[in-house]
Amino acid sequence: MLKGKTALVTGSTSGIGLGIAVALARQGANIVLNGFGDVEAPRAQVLEAGKAAGIKVGYHGADMSKAAEIEAMMKYAAAEFGRVDILVNNAGIQHVAKIQDFPVEKWDAIMAINLSSAFHTTRLALPAMQQANWGRIINVASVHGLVGSAEKSAYVAAKHGVVGLTKVTALENATTGVTCNAICPGWVLTPLVQKQVDAKAAAQGISNEEATKLLLGEKEPSQQFTTPEELGELAVFFCSAAAGNVRGVAWNMDGGWAAQ
Ligand code: NAD
C-alpha cells in the first residue's frame, strides 16, 4: 500500500515509534529511523518487516530537543529519499513530580522534545508534501493530550499542545491531500512506562507485578496495555486512501481511560 513512499519516524529505536516503523515498513514504505541507543537491532527488525517490498532504511541521530539537528535530519531525509511523505512525530520523554518540585530543566526538555520538535519537523516537511499534494502527518500524543493526571504537568501540557498543533496543521491543509491526525495511547508497556512501574514498586515496597496491576487499575478500565503493534496498525489506517478525509482527530487507544 505504501510502496514508493518514505516515512520518517522520530524516536523509533524503541517502543511505540519502532512499532509504527515496523507496521509502515510492512506496507512497503521506506523508513528513516531516529532516536538514541542501539540502532542495529531496530534497523534489522524494520528491514525484515519490509523485506518483501525491498524497502530502504535510513537513520539520523538528531536530538529532538535541538532545532538545528532536526533541520539536519530533514535535509538528510530529503537528500537520501527525495521527500518525506509520512511524518510520525513520536519522540517523547516523561518526568513525574509535583509542580512545586518540578525541575525547570525537565520542563524545558519535555516541551522541546514532546512538543516543539513536532513543530520543527512539520514546518520543514510541509512544503514538499504540499507540492506533491499528498502527505500524512501523525502525531503520537497521549491520552494525556485529552485529560490530566497529577504530577505530570509538563507532559500533560505538552501533549495537549500536540493535539492543538494537530488541529491547526489539519486545518491549514484541509483542501489538500495532506492530512494530520494524532494518536492518543493509554498505557503501553515500553521503557518509558516500565520506569513508572519500577518507581511505584520501589515506593510502595511491592512486586513489579503488583505495581503493574495498580498502574493499570488506576486509569485503564480494560486492565490491559495497548501494544506498539496495535498503534502501528492505526498509523497504517491514517496513511490509507480510506483515511484521506480524516483530518485533525485525536484518536485514543486507551482501554477506555478517557471514556470515564
Ligand atoms: P520509549 O522510551 O520506548 O521510546 C522513546 C523513543 O524516543 C526512543 O527511541 C528514544 O531514543 C527517543 N528519544 C528520546 N529522547 C529523544 C531525543 N531527545 N531525540 C531523539 N529521540 C529521542 O517510549 P514510548 O513509550 O515508546 O514513547 C513514544 C511516544 O509515545 C512518546 O511521545 C510518549 O509520550 C508517547 N506515549 C507513550 C505511552 C506509553 O504508555 N508508553 C502512552 C502515551 C503516549
Question: Is 142's C-beta closer than 6 angstroms to any atom of ligand 1?
Answer: yes
Residues 207 and 162 in one domain: no
pLDDT computed for residue 251 by the predictor: 98
Contact criterion met (CB below 8 Å) for 70 and 118:
no
Is residue 10 a part of any domain in this protein? yes
Is residue 260 a part of any domain in this protein? no
pLDDT computed for residue 55 by the predictor: 98
Question: Is 65's C-beta closer than 6 angstroms to any atom of ligand 1?
Answer: yes
Residues 172 and 194 in one domain: no
Catalytic residue among 155, 225, 238, 257: 155
pLDDT under 70 in the chain at which residues? none
pLDDT computed for residue 120 by the predictor: 99
Phi, psi of 174 (to 5 degrees): -65, -25
Ligand 1 midpoint to CA 220 (Å): 20
Residues 151 and 106 in one domain: yes
Assess whether 59 carries a catalytic annotation: no
Question: Is 225's C-beta closer than 6 angstroms to any atom of ligand 1?
Answer: no
Is residue 166 a part of any domain in this protein? yes
Question: Is 91's C-beta closer than 6 angstroms to any atom of ligand 1?
Answer: yes
Distances (CA, A) of 11 to 6, 25, 115, 130, 242: 16, 16, 13, 24, 27
pLDDT tens, residue by residue, 126-170: 999 999 999 999 999 999 999 999 999 999 999 999 999 999 999
Residues 221 and 237 in one domain: no
Give the strand pairing for 86-89 and 178-185: unpaired
Residues 125 and 219 in one domain: no
pLDDT computed for residue 62 by the predictor: 98
Residues 71 and 193 in one domain: no
CA angle 215, 219, 220 (to 5 degrees): 95
Residues 61 and 98 in one domain: yes
Residues 111 and 211 in one domain: no
Residues 132 and 164 in one domain: yes
Is residue 258 a part of any domain in this protein? no
Residues 163 and 145 in one domain: yes
Instruction: Provide the residue range defining the domain that includes 217.
Output: 189-225
Residues 143 and 47 in one domain: yes
Cell 518509558 appears where? 192
59: helix, coil or strand? strand
Q: Which atom of ligand 1 is nearest to the CA of 36?
A: 11
